[in-house]
Every structure is written in C-alpha cells, then in structure tokens.
C-alpha cells in the first residue's frame, strides 16, 4: 500500500503503518489536550491509542501466523485508522481453515483481556464501581490502574466487534466458513453477506435512537458486505480461466537504456500506461514502468533520465497457464498495476494489467448474461 511506513518484520511479515493512522493519534492527543489543557494527559492519550493499535497488530498476527500454519503466506500487515489489514497471499479454500484463521484474530484479544484481568486482580488494582465513578468524575483517566482497565475493556470490545457475523468483520468470515460446509462458497458468501446487510440496517436504525456510532458501524458493515460478495463473484467469473486468455500479446516495451522522454513520446501517441522494460539485448524483463514512476521521475529528475533509474525492479512474473484469479491476487499484492507473462521456456509472451483484467471480466460477465 502506498504511503505506508514500515515499522518492523515478524517471521517475514512486513508490519507497516498507513500515514492516515497518524491523523487519529494526533486527533486523540488534541482532544485530550482541549479537555484537560495538560500536556501529560495528551501524551498519555497518544500512548493509549498506540497500545490499542499494538493489540490490533497482535490480532492480525493471530490471523497471519495461523494462516502460515496452513502454508498461506502473509505479505504485510498494515495499520489503518479503522483497524488492521493482514494481506494474505490467498484465501484458504477449505472452510475449516478459513474458520480457524478468522477466529484466531479475536481470540488474541480475548487472551489479552484475560491477561489484563488477572494482572489487575493479582495487583489488587481492579477498579471497584466506586473507583470507576470517581475516576470518571475527576477525569483521572491515566493512572496505571485506569490505563490497564481501559486497555482490557478495549480488547473486549475489539473481540466482540469482530464476532459480529458480517463482512468485513472476522465474524462474517466465520459465518461464511460454517455455511460453506453445507453449500458452495458463492452461495455461502451471498447468504453471509445478506445477513450482514440486514444486521447493518438494524445497526443504522438503532443508531438513530441510541448511539450515533452505530450508524457508522452499520455503514461500514453494509459496504463491506457488498464488497465481499462482488469479490467472490469475480472469483467465479475467473474460474478455470488461464492468464493467457486475458493477457495482451502485443505490449509496449522499452530497453532499460532509453529515457523517460522516449516513453512519454510513445504515451502521447498511444493509450499505453504501463511498460515492460527489457535489458539492452531484449532477452529478459528487468523492470516494470507505470505512469506513477514516469510522472514522479520526470518531475524529480527530468526527461533525460534513463528508465532503468526509476522503473520497479520488484515485480511479479506470471505464467501463461496460471489461474487468472490467483494471478490477479498476486498482481494486487505486488502493488503494481502490470506484470510480464512467461511461457514454460521462460520467454515473455505477454503482459497483463489490472485494467485489462477488469475489461476481460466485464466482457465475460456480459457474455454470461446473454446466455
Ligand atoms: Zn481480524
């Protein structure tokens, strides 16, 4: 994901924070400062948010490490203001595995809740109802006692929230996995997503009477339910389709020794936006160049820059007989919009980009509608 800062790696999984996340930290700190006019409170507010997000990372690691157990790799975990996102290389096809991977996340939060509960009990710090009332009134939010208690409560909420049986929550995946034991995956997804949508509407309705936050949660769930169903339909549209049916056999290519200006001249004459970059003898692909690098490259270094200086050297190579759906997921997780396609001999026989996959899908779906 663009604009994400890498903070570490756990068992080969990159952990990164999206820039928009810092807005939330800053906003919480400002809110505390406005309330108390106390820098220490503001700082503690920030530390508290970071502690919650550390728990979110542990939750995502719960998914990722369970997936790893089933041989599914996770490329990265990204922290967004709305929570974490574990970028699994593929979705487990076996319902049982999907269920275990989905439940592993919220189970981590339940575990943290119990640990904090026992720590508070063992140290005699567990607040009584009197304590809670007094602390709320005095605004003493950040004694060690309150810090641990609030963190415990936050983990409990995270766990409960994720057990809501609707996409994109883990509960939606658990529900789908359970349904998929009895029926095919697409029907299971459709039923799970309708249940999610119904729940979302109930949330939105209740939100207007009780707590406005429910309206936001409802909207979030409603949108997530739709997206998951569409993604699942795409998978079916691609079922049994090979990369070679969707790839472009004629594709724009340049040698790494050519300049950005050469590329731009070509772009002005054609519709091409992505390019495969070859070595000087045109024997193998050494990079992928997209509009992004071309524009920033020209702005920063000028038009006479060699393409080899700005191209992406880290790209995926797809095989012509590969399943289109798997290929699409690989392309998405590479973060680039295009990839070279090779045959058994390793020769480059085509190029695939996300636009041309989308067009292919629209064609295929409209063809199916006609029949
Ligand atoms: Zn989760």
Quote the ligand 1 centre to 197 CA distance (angstroms). Answer: 19
Are 274 and 351 contacting, i.e. CB atoms less than 8 angstroms apart? yes
What distance in angstroms lies between residue 294's CA and the mean position of ligand 1's atoms?
37
Q: How confident is the model at residue 275 (pLDDT cuts 50, 70, 90)?
A: very high
One domain, residues 178 and 250: no
Q: How far is the CA of 199 from the centre of ligand 1 (A)?
A: 19
- Gap from CA of 238 to ligand 1 centroid (Å): 27
The side-by-side arrangement of strands in the sheet containing 285-290 is 253-255, 274-278, 285-290
Task: Give residues with Cβ within 8 angstroms of 191, minimum separation 6.
Answer: 179, 183
Let me know whether 35 and 152 are in one domain. Answer: yes
Phi, psi of 134 (to 5 degrees): -60, -45
Mean pLDDT of 250-264: 90
The total number of structural domains in the chain stands at 3
Could you give the CA distance from residue 320 to residue 278 in angstroms, rounded to a whole number? 19
* Same domain, residue pair 201 and 333: no
Output the pTM of the full model: 0.60
Q: Between 35 and 151, whose confidence is greater?
A: 151
What is the spatial distance between Cα 253 and Cα 185, in angstroms, rounded to a whole number? 40
Residue 105 CA to ligand 1 center (angstroms) comes to 5
Alpha carbon of 329 to ligand 1 centroid (Å): 20
Domain endpoint, select from 132, 163, 194: 163
Question: b/e map of 202-236 (b: 16 or more CB within 10 Å)?
Answer: ebbeebeeeeeebbebbebbbebbeebbeebebbe
Residue 205 Cα to ligand 1 midpoint, Å, equals 25
Q: How many A from CA of 112 to the centre of ligand 1?
A: 15
- 315 Cα–ligand 1 center, Å: 28
| Dist. CA 165 → ligand 1 center (Å) | 12
How far does the centroid of ligand 1 lie from the alpha carbon of residue 62, in Å? 8
| Residue 83 near residue 52 (C-beta atoms within 8 A) | no
State in Å: Cα 335 to ligand 1 middle.
22
Q: How far is the CA of 260 from the centre of ligand 1 (A)?
A: 43
| DSSP letters for 265-303 | HHHHHS---EEEEE-TTSSSEEEEEEHHHHHHHHHHH-T
Domain with 114, as residue range(s), is 1-163
Dist. CA 5–CA 27, nearest whole Å:
19
Q: How far is the CA of 8 from the centre of ligand 1 (A)?
A: 20
Q: Are residues 250 and 192 in the same domain?
A: no
Boundary-marking domain end, from 237, 260, 275:
237
CATH number at residue 317: 3.10.580.10
Beta-ladder partners of 277: 254, 287
| One domain for residues 113 and 186 | no
Distance (Å) from CA 244 to ligand 1 centroid = 35
Q: 3-state DSSP helix/strand/coil percent for the chain, to nearest 5?
A: 60, 15, 25
Please tell me the distance between residue 31's alpha carbon and the centre of ligand 1 in angstroms: 28
Q: Are residues 294 and 189 in the same domain?
A: no
Cα of 168 vs centre of ligand 1, distance in Å, is: 9
pLDDT per position as a tens digit, 37-81:
778 778 887 888 888 888 888 988 999 999 999 988 888 887 776
Contacts (Cβ under 8 Å, ≥6 apart) of 302: 260
The pLDDT, as a whole number, for residue 341 is: 94
Do 258 and 323 have their domain in common?
yes
Question: Average per-residue pLDDT in the chain?
Answer: 82
Question: In angstroms, rounded to a whole number, what is the distance separating the alpha carbons of residues 121 and 195?
Answer: 39
At residue 178, the pLDDT reads 93
Quick check: 21 and 85 in contact, CB under 8 A?
A: no
pLDDT greater at residue 232 or residue 56: 56
Same domain, residue pair 199 and 334: no
Strand order in the sheet with 348-353: 318-319, 338-342, 348-353
Please check whether residues 117 and 33 belong to one and the same domain: yes
Higher pLDDT, 340 or 91: 340
Spatial CB neighbours of 323, under 8 Å, sequence gap ≥ 6: 238, 240, 241, 242, 243
Within this chain, do residues 149 and 222 fall inside the same structural domain, yes or no? no
Q: Which of 163, 185, 201 is the C-terminal boundary of a domain?
A: 163
d(CA 352, CA 274): 10
Q: According to the model, what pLDDT value does residue 1 have?
A: 45
In this structure, are 179 and 255 located in the same domain?
A: no
For residue 63, how far is its CA from the centre of ligand 1 (angstroms)? 7
Structure tokens at 196: 């999610």
Q: How many Å lie between the centroid of ligand 1 and the Cα of residue 303?
A: 45
| Paired strand residues for 13 | 10
Q: Do 273 and 333 belong together in one domain?
A: yes
């Amino acid at each position: 994901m663009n604009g994400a800062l890498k903070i570490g790696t756990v068992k080969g999984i990159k952990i990164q924070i999206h820039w928009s996340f810092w807005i939330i930290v800053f906003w919480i700190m400002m809110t505390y400062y406005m309330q108390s006019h106390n820098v220490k409170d503001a700082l503690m507010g920030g530390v508290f948010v970071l502690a919650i997000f550390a728990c979110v990372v542990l939750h995502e690691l719960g998914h990722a490490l369970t997936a790893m157990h089933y041989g599914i790799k996770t490329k990265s975990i990204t922290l967004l203001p709305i929570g974490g996102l574990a970028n699994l290389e593929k979705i487990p096809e076996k319902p049982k595995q999907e269920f275990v991977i989905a439940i592993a996340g919220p189970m981590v939060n339940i575990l943290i809740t119990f640990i904090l509960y026992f720590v508070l009990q063992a140290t005699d710090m567990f607040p009584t109802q009197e304590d809670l009332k007094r602390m709320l009134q005095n605004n003493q939010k950040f004694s060690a006692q309150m810090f641990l208690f609030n963190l415990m409560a936050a983990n409990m909420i995270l766990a409960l929230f994720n057990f809501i049986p609707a996409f994109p929550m883990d509960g939606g995946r658990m529900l789908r996995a359970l349904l998929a034991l009895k029926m095919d995956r697409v029907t299971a997804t459709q039923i799970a997503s309708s249940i999610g949508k119904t729940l979302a509407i109930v949330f939105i309705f209740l939100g207007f009477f009780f707590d406005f936050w429910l309206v936001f949660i409802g909207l979030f769930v409603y949108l997530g339910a739709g997206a998951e169903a569409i993604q699942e339909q795409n998978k079916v549209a691609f079922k049994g389709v090979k990369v070679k049916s969707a790839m472009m056999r004629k594709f724009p290519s340049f040698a790494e020794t050519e300049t950005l200006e050469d590329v731009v001249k070509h772009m002005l004459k054609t519709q091409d936006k992505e390019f495969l970059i070859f070595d000087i003898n045109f024997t193998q692909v050494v990079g992928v160049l997209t509009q992004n690098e071309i524009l920033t490259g020209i702005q920063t270094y000028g038009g006479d820059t060699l393409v080899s200086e700005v191209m992406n050297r880290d790209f995926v190579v797809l095989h012509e007989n590969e399943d289109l759906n798997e290929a699409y997921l690989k392309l998405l997780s590479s973060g680039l919009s295009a990839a070279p396609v090779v045959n058994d001999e390793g020769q480059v026989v085509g190029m695939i980009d996300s636009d041309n996959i989308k067009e292919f899908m629209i064609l295929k779906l409209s063809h199916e509608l006609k029949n």
